[in-house]
Amino acid sequence: MLIDTHCHLDFAEFDEERDALIERAHQAGVRQMVTISTRVRKLDGLLAITEKYPSVFCSVGTHPNNANEELDIQADDLIRLANQHDKIVAIGEVGLDYFYDTQTPADQKTGLTRHIQAARETGLPLIIHSRSADEDMIEILTAESGKGAFPFILHCFSAGPELARVGIELGGYISFSGILTFPKSEELREIARTVPIDRLLVETDAPYLAPKRWRGKRNEPSYVVNTAEVLAECKGVSYAEMAKVSTDNALRIFSKMPRL
């Protein structure tokens, strides 16, 4: 079995066939999914999905590309919401995205530190989105961990080896998406080889970034199988072993999510 630790099932791309794609995920051995929040104001839609589908859990948070829309959301708001709902198992996604550059670094950092505080206080894992921001992310993770540890996941990892190294050192987990399977991603596979196997997770980030076997198609949770296959090759273990270990890892870091 596998867990897709990061997808966006509330996106309109899935409106017509949510039942079918969740069924396909189950058929492919993807037993549980975490659908990730990009705006706290859209949380009701996410929660409705988790209530309809027992195998789907969610997070609460503001994506860095939406940072300035939700500067009124405080750590206490995130904590209250997370404590109110059994199906909220993580904080985020939040982080720094200097690639799209639609938000100021200052606004993104404000959101990031508030979400870190919420992760620290709730013990729920922080879902970190970091793109073209390795240096600042290393600095913030190191400084904030110094004030008090918090569980975190570097999601859709596509950064350099130094961020991976620091993330591991600080107790974090590294989640790989379909990018790991692309022919040009040899550097990323080299990083994956260095990550301790008990810190590895797999995700789709669907509807984006379909892995190689389905490249160019709209992504969906069942496709996470391809990423797990490539990760197994990187680590020199069987697919069955990779599936088991990554699932155990996911249930350890998403400590509020029950094993189904």
Residue 193 CB neighbours (<10 A):
11
Part of the chain binding Zn ion (CB under 5 A), chosen from 91-99, 113-121, 164-172, 240-248: 91-99
Tell me the window of 67-75, 116-124, 202-210, 215-223 that interacts with Zn ion (CB under 5 A): 202-210
Sheet holding 2-7, edge to edge: 2-7, 30-35, 56-60, 88-97, 126-131, 152-154, 173-176, 200-202
Give the per-residue contact string, 15-44, with Zn ion (x = CB under 5 A; - = no): ---------------------x--------
What's the CA gap between 102 and 65, in Å, rounded?
A: 6
**Could you tell me which stretch among 78-86, 93-101, 134-142, 210-218 binds Zn ion (CB under 5 A)?**
93-101
Q: Which CB, 36 or 242, lies closer to Zn ion?
A: 36
Among 115, 120, 129, 235, binds Zn ion (CB under 5 A): 129
Q: How far is the CB of 237 from Zn ion (least distance, A)?
A: 27
Which letter does DSSP use for residue 98 in this model?
T
Q: How far is the CB of 177 from Zn ion (least distance, A)?
A: 9
Does residue 113 sit in helix, strand or coil? helix
Positions in the binding site for Zn ion (CB under 5 A): 36, 93, 129, 205
